[in-house]
A and B are shown apart, each in its own frame.
Chain A
Amino acid sequence: MTDVTANIVSAAPAGSTTRRGYWSGVARDGRKLGLWFVAPTLVLLLFIVIFPMGMQLYLSATWWTPLDGTPWYLAFESFNGGENYLRLVTDPGLWSALWRTVLIMAVAVPVQFMLGLGLAFLFIDQFPGRKIFYSILLTPMMIVPAVVGMMFYLLFQGTGPINNTFGLPASFSWLADVNRAMISVIIADVWQWTPLMFLILLAGMLGVPQDQLLAARLLGGSNWQNFRKIILPRMKPVIAIALVLRSVECFKIFDLIYIMTKGGPGVQTETISLYLYKQTFADLDWSYVAAIGLTILLVLSLAAARGLAYNAKKRA
């Protein structure tokens, strides 16, 4: 676990200058093989990404719902222009769900990061039992998220072990309480995903050249100084990866909350995904959900493109 290389994903294809001559000159059939090899992926993308995207755009401009009884391709009969898009701008349910999603991200991700960083710091050096502790600490992230939801659902029951351990009465409710429901959900998310932060940050820390650390120590730097002046600057790309990865996943959060609280009590833990789920199945408002989905898609794509451009600029 010593040879760690961090290379940030960049927009440019890797190594586009080397060996170009050989592979394009000598080998004509290489191109043909390449096309055959990407074909399955292209077919999948076309069938499950490109085509549905077009369909989503189409449906989002109509009033179509599965209750209409008309097949989806006749949805144009209830064409409404951009009314669904106008509706989402002033939909208080959507905005409050977005706000709650951001709140969970803003609390859970930094907490996971700090805990993960602290744990990684403990695991830099070898110590007896390190391997076993390391494996134990990694288990939460390998457990099926739905099962984690169920586990914390059991823990937070009035008659569950949490209340018992902390001497609270069985009537002290977590998941049905307006404020504590959110706290419970965040605790569960932190429990499950701190290990991922730990794993990534530890890999990054072990990638800091050991001789530099040794030199700094010989020169009398304290642990804290070494950490701030040598380890942290070198870990910037790794930290960025860890934070981006967790934020993206946290934005999508569904399984855990759906099983623990179903978004409740009321809408207290309703995130974007839960809101979309409710609109899809409770209200069967499919064209509206399509419009929201497409808007989210657009915003995230723009954000990702900007992020990649920024990253490429910084590396250039």
Chain B
Amino acid sequence: MTSSFRTVVLKYALVLLACSIVIYPLLWMVTMAFKPVAEWTTGNGLTWFPKNPTLQNFEYIFFGHTAGLAVSLDRTVIGPLTASLVTSICGTVLAVVAGTLSSYAVVRHRTLPSLAISVLQLRLFPPLAVMIPVMVMWAFIGAIDTWWGLSLIYGIVTLPFAFWLMKTFFEEIPVEIEEAARVSGSSHWRVFYRITLPIVKPGLATCVLFVFIINWSDYLLALLLTQKNWVTLPVFMSTLNSAMGEMYGMKAALGLIAAIPPVVLGLLIQKHLVRGLTFGALKQ
């Protein structure tokens, strides 16, 4: 398309405007994490970039105390960070293993084709509409505030993503490859393990990262199913308050820590984001 100088300028102006709207809130949080108390609010004038950059906020959340703050933290960020990592990873393993195996069975062996839609339905309902029995059950079997209780629920809520993402990857493998292996005498399990799995390895890696991002981003389930020991990062962040008032800087530091992994991983699998988020309905 031949485009005049004016349209090019207009286009860049619009793109830059959109980017600055995206960056505006992010910048405030990121710089807030490195600001001393005096610069948290605009009381003494607005500071976008900290005049006296400090690591105090991080020191406080990691060690529970910092110079100038009388109140010390009885729980540092280490616990929630571990909890977030452990439950997200375990939930991801569960979802990806169950999702990969069952989608392979549905795609290649036509086992229970209706499973696909049943699994998809899980994403339709607001979690709070179905959480009462889960909470009752979790309390009954002693799964509240444990790593496995939260991992189990993460495994089931992200199963639809894993299932549908892997389904599209399996569908892309020509069935002839597997047939050839079958004809040469391999069992079905060997065909899956030795032929199919290596072929979908990149897809599987994408799926793992994608599901991990979704689990890591959870707030509500952790809020409902944990109390103290296995509180995750976002819940910890939202409950961080002290008698001295709002801890903007510490919250921003926690937000920054929670935001980095999904952004980095998300950019890594950018190519497959559309496929994952639309349950394979749209490929890029």
Q: Is the CB of B25 within 8 A of A159?
A: no
A13 contact set on B, CB distance < 8 A: 106, 110, 113-114, 116
- B254 to nearest A CB, angstroms? 8
With A37-B101, A40-B97, A41-B115 known as contacts, the answer to whether A31 contacts B109 (CB < 8 A) is: yes
With A41-B99, A238-B282, A254-B220 known as contacts, the answer to whether A277 contacts B128 (CB < 8 A) is: yes
Q: Is the CB of B133 within 8 A of A53?
A: yes
The binding surface of chain A is classed by DSSP as helix
- B175 to nearest A CB, angstroms? 6
Q: Is the CB of B129 within 8 A of A276?
A: yes
The answer to the question of B63 belonging to the interface, with a C-beta cut-off of 8 Å to chain A, is no
User: Which of B48, B94, B118 has the most A CB atoms < 10 Å from its CB?
Assistant: B118
The answer to the question of A107 belonging to the interface, with a C-beta cut-off of 8 Å to chain B, is no
Interface mask (B246-284 → A, CB under 8 Å = 1, otherwise 0): 001001100100110011001100110110011111111
Q: Is the CB of A151 within 8 A of B25?
A: yes
Least CB separation from A207: chain B residue = B282
- Quick one: which of A32-50 are within 8 Å of B by CB? 33-38, 40-42, 44-45, 48-49
Binds A, one of B26-34, B51-59, B198-206: B26-34
With A8-B281, A23-B109, A145-B217 known as contacts, the answer to whether A33 contacts B120 (CB < 8 A) is: no
The answer to the question of B98 belonging to the interface, with a C-beta cut-off of 8 Å to chain A, is yes
With A137-B19, A200-B278 known as contacts, the answer to whether A33 contacts B109 (CB < 8 A) is: yes
Interface mask (A10-30 → B, CB under 8 Å = 1, otherwise 0): 010111100110111011011
A7 to B168, CA, bound (A): 11
The answer to the question of A304 belonging to the interface, with a C-beta cut-off of 8 Å to chain B, is yes
Q: Is the CB of A255 within 8 A of B220?
A: yes
Q: Is the CB of B273 within 8 A of A138?
A: yes
Interface Cβ pair total, 8 Å cutoff: 305
The answer to the question of B125 belonging to the interface, with a C-beta cut-off of 8 Å to chain A, is yes
Q: Is the CB of B163 within 8 A of A144?
A: no
The answer to the question of B194 belonging to the interface, with a C-beta cut-off of 8 Å to chain A, is no
A20 contact set on B, CB distance < 8 A: 110
Q: Is the CB of B128 within 8 A of A276?
A: yes
Least CB separation from B109: chain A residue = A34
With A41-B163, A119-B18 known as contacts, the answer to whether A29 contacts B42 (CB < 8 A) is: no
A105 to B92, CA, bound (A): 30
Of the candidates A138, A145, A254, the one whose C-beta lies within 8 Å of that of B270 is: A138
Binds B, one of A85-93, A174-182, A294-302: A294-302
Q: Is the CB of A154 within 8 A of B248?
A: yes
- A274 to nearest B CB, angstroms? 9
Least CB separation from A40: chain B residue = B98
Of the candidates A7, A170, A293, the one whose C-beta lies within 8 Å of that of B42 is: A170
Q: Top 6 nearest A-B pairs by Cβ distance? A: A34-B111, A34-B109, A13-B113, A293-B129, A159-B41, A52-B133
Q: A37-B109, A142-B262 are in contact. List 10 more A-B contacts (CB 8 A).
A: A9-B120, A29-B187, A45-B156, A48-B134, A48-B153, A138-B266, A147-B258, A154-B248, A292-B129, A301-B124
For this complex, 25 residue pairs linking A to B, each with C-beta atoms less than 8 Å apart, are: A4-B284, A8-B281, A19-B175, A24-B110, A27-B182, A30-B109, A31-B111, A38-B101, A40-B98, A41-B115, A48-B153, A56-B132, A122-B14, A133-B19, A142-B262, A143-B262, A143-B263, A144-B262, A146-B234, A147-B259, A252-B127, A259-B219, A286-B132, A289-B132, A304-B121
What residues of chain A have their CB less than 8 Å away from a CB belonging to chain B? 1, 3-9, 11, 13-16, 19-20, 22-24, 26-27, 29-31, 33-38, 40-42, 44-45, 48-49, 51-53, 55-56, 59, 66, 71-72, 118-119, 122, 125, 127, 133, 135-140, 142-152, 154-155, 157, 159-161, 163-165, 170, 191, 195-196, 199-200, 203-204, 217, 238, 241, 245, 248, 251-252, 254-255, 258-259, 272-273, 276-277, 280, 286, 289-290, 292-294, 296-297, 300-301, 304, 308
What residues of chain B have their CB less than 8 Å away from a CB belonging to chain A? 1, 3, 8, 11-12, 14-15, 18-19, 21-26, 28-29, 32, 41-43, 46, 48, 94, 97-99, 101-102, 104-137, 139-140, 152-153, 155-156, 159, 163, 171, 175, 179, 182, 187-189, 192, 213, 216-217, 219-220, 234-235, 237-238, 248, 251-252, 255, 258-259, 262-263, 266-267, 270-271, 273-274, 277-284
